[in-house]
Copies of this chain bind each other. A is one copy, B any other.
Amino acid sequence: MERIGDAEYRVMEVLWDEAPLTAAEVADRVPADRGWSIRTVKTMLSRLLAKGVLAHEEEGRRYLYRPAIAREDYVAQESGRLLDRMFGGRLTPLVAHLAERDRLSDADIAEIEALLKALKS
């Protein structure tokens, strides 16, 4: 599967939240913090189409865009990539690492414990 850049990912998120949308609608919903022009959004959409991660159907002279890959699949691929690259593919060192770095609160720990308990049964 193709890789997706940071900016492109913003666009994907919009469409994973709500689809199908026109280019203008996507532009409206993209987080404003980057101050993108509509043209930039359209470029993103074209590239994502070319990469095969978006699909489009024609509606009059416009396109309606929708994701062609599931968010879960993409997220799985990217987390797997990080895990492979940094932790030899093993999750435990990641958890240990984040715990050390204070990215884990007590509430997180409780939550993960509950999750693991559910997984075992």
Q: How many copies does the complex hold?
A: 2
A108→B116 CA distance, assembly (Å): 10
A86→B75 CA distance, assembly (Å): 7
Q: Is the CB of A92 within 8 A of B79?
A: no
Asked if A32 is at the interface of the complex by the 8 Å CB criterion, the answer is: no
Interface hits, A55-88 → B, CB 8 Å: 72, 75-76, 78-80, 82-83, 85-87
Which A positions have Cβ atoms within 8 angstroms of B?
6, 9, 72, 75-76, 78-80, 82-83, 85-87, 90-92, 94-99, 101, 103-104, 106, 108-109, 111-113, 115-116, 119-120
Tell me how far the C-beta of A91 lies from the nearest C-beta in chain B, rounded to whole angstroms. Answer: 6
Q: Is the CB of B115 within 8 A of A91?
A: no
A120→B83 CA distance, assembly (Å): 25
